[in-house]
């Protein structure tokens, strides 16, 4: 298992598959630059598309989680409708708190942002537009089960979007925090381009 130290935490770099996606722990897919920024990249090498994910080594619980995303999601995704940027707490498919950016295979969709609490079925916020980089992406998980989500422009300190879940479903403890870049259905990007995100700090 490849591990990296980033922003004061130890992370496992996922190498394997889930669904139809292949994830790689290669430094072509996950690396830290000289400014201590984290890069995750979907690569196409010999017609094999490899995605990227890191998972916190430590289990996470109630509290505040903030990921600073340098990249502008709409610039990263571009004309592709399969790429997904995920910033999330994960125990299993029924205990998950997500901030995600994707067109979700709808080419005309420019409301890339959405928050999700994986209840049964999942509870999803209204999708929201985003066309800016250098954002904080915050999840505040309360012990009563409520969850506050927020995306903020770090340059102006203006809140781009916020949503609170207070539906009563209790997401279970014991999961990890994860950051990933993957493809819906595991298929190649619809624009044929590799995708990369850059993050400046975590948790």
Per-residue pLDDT tens for 25-82?
Answer: 999 999 999 999 999 999 999 999 999 999 999 999 999 999 999 999 999 999 999 9
- Say yes or no to pLDDT of 182 above 90: yes
The pTM assigned to this predicted structure is 0.97
CA–CA distance, 77 with 181 (Å, rounded to integer): 10
Structure-block tokens of residue 195:
């995708």
Q: What is the pLDDT of residues 4-41, one digit of tens each?
A: 999 999 999 999 999 899 999 999 999 999 999 999 99
CA–CA distance, 91 with 98 (Å, rounded to integer): 12
The model's confidence at residue 201, banded by pLDDT at 50, 70 and 90, is confident
| pLDDT for res 202 | 76
Bridge partners of residue 98, in order along the sequence: 88, 116
CA–CA distance, 141 with 171 (Å, rounded to integer): 9
Distances (CA, A) of 116 to 80, 87, 122: 22, 11, 7
DSSP string across the chain: -EEEEETTEEEEEP-EEETTEEE--STTTEEE-TTS-EEEEEEEETTEEEEEEEEESS---SEEEEEEE-S-HHHHHTT-SSEEEEEEEEEETTEEEEEEEE-TT-TT----EEEEE--SS-EEPPPB----SSEEEEEEE-TTS-EEEEEEETTT--EEEEEEE-SS--PPSS-EEEEEEEEGGGPPPTT---EEEEEEE--
Whether the CB-CB separation of 25 and 13 falls below 8 Å is answered with: yes
CA–CA distance, 203 with 172 (Å, rounded to integer): 19
Percentage of the chain lying above the pLDDT 90 cut:
96
Closest CA to 148 of 176, 131, 127, 125: 125
Task: Name the CA radius of gyration of the chain, rounded.
Answer: 16
The model's confidence at residue 115, banded by pLDDT at 50, 70 and 90, is very high
Is residue 166 exposed (0-12), middle (13-18) or buried (19+ Cβ within 10 Å)?
exposed
Bridge partners of residue 135, in order along the sequence: 69, 153
């Amino acid at each position: 298992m490849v591990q990296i130290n980033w922003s004061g935490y130890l992370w496992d770099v996922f190498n394997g598959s889930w669904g139809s996606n292949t994830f790689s722990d290669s430094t072509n897919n996950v690396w830290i630059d000289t400014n201590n920024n984290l890069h995750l990249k979907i690569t196409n090498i010999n017609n094999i598309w490899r995605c990227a994910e890191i998972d916190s080594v430590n289990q996470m619980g109630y509290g505040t989680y903030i990921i600073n995303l340098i990249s502008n999601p709409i610039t990263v995704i571009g004309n592709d409708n399969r790429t997904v940027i995920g910033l999330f707490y994960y125990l299993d498919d029924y205990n998950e708190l997500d901030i995600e950016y994707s067109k979700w295979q709808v080419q005309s969709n420019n409301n890339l942002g959405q928050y999700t609490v994986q209840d049964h079925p999942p509870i999803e916020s209204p999708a929201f537009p985003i066309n800016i980089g250098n954002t904080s992406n915050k999840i505040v998980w309360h012990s009563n089960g409520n969850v506050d989500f927020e995306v903020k422009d770090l340059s102006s300190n203006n809140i781009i979007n916020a949503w609170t879940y207070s539906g009563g479903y209790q997401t279970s403890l014991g999961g990890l925090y994860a950051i990933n870049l993957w493809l819906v259905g595991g298929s190649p990007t619809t624009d044929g381009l590799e995708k990369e995100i850059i993050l400046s700090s975590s948790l």
